[in-house]
Amino acid sequence: MMKTRTWMFGVAILLAAIAAGPSQSILAATPPANSSPEVAVKEVAVKIDNFSFSPATITVPLGTTVRWTNRDDIPHTVVSDDKTFKSKALDTDEDFTYTFTKPGTYGYFCSIHPKMTAKVVVQ
Ligand SMILES: [Cu+2]
């Protein structure tokens, strides 16, 4: 019995490591938008100003890069509800980009001011 429990614990640790790993590496691997020039890279801008994301809801085609720029005087972050993407604290005029490669609705918020919420709908 002891052996089984120890084994299960090991599996749980391993799964946790796997679950934690990819989100980090996805962040690190966020491409500097210099993919093949023949592919039109679509970029949509979202402004962070006066404690809100603007526009609060955007609908974009698959493959679109969204660029959030902080126009506020205080830091904000861009964090998706399911942690698909997560920026560092953005100072004034700093930006964060994420390219959406899976359709879906991505709710996100500012982790410093959780009442700041918005969403990206990817079609
Ligand atoms: Cu904020």
Under the banding of pLDDT at 50, 70 and 90, the label for residue 5 is low
Tokens standing for residue 103: 């359709």
**How confident is residue 26, by pLDDT bands cut at 50, 70 and 90?**
very low
Q: Which two tokens stand for residue 53?
A: 């994301």
- Taking the whole predicted model, whether its pTM rises above 0.75 is answered as no
Residues 72, 49 contacting (CB under 8 angstroms): yes
Give the chain's mean pLDDT: 82
Distance 118 CA to ligand 1 centre (A): 12
The C-alpha atoms of residue 42 and residue 65 are separated, in whole angstroms, by: 6
The rounded percent of the chain whose pLDDT value lies above 90 is 67
Which of the four CATH numbers 2.60.40.420, 3.40.50.1980, 3.40.50.150, 1.10.1840.10 does domain 43-122 have?
2.60.40.420
Q: How confident is the model at residue 90 (pLDDT cuts 50, 70, 90)?
A: very high
How close is the Cα of 77 to the center of ligand 1, in Å? 6
- At 46, is the pLDDT very low, low, confident or very high (cuts 50, 70, 90)? very high
Distance (Å) from CA 43 to ligand 1 centroid:
22
- The conformational region for residue 6 under phi > 0 = left, psi -120 to 50 = alpha, else beta, is alpha
What is the enclosing helix (H) or strand (E) of 12? Answer: helix 2-28
> Does position 22 have pLDDT exceeding 50, yes or no?
no
Domain ranges of the chain: 1-30, 43-122
The span from the CA of 31 to the CA of 38, in Å, is 16
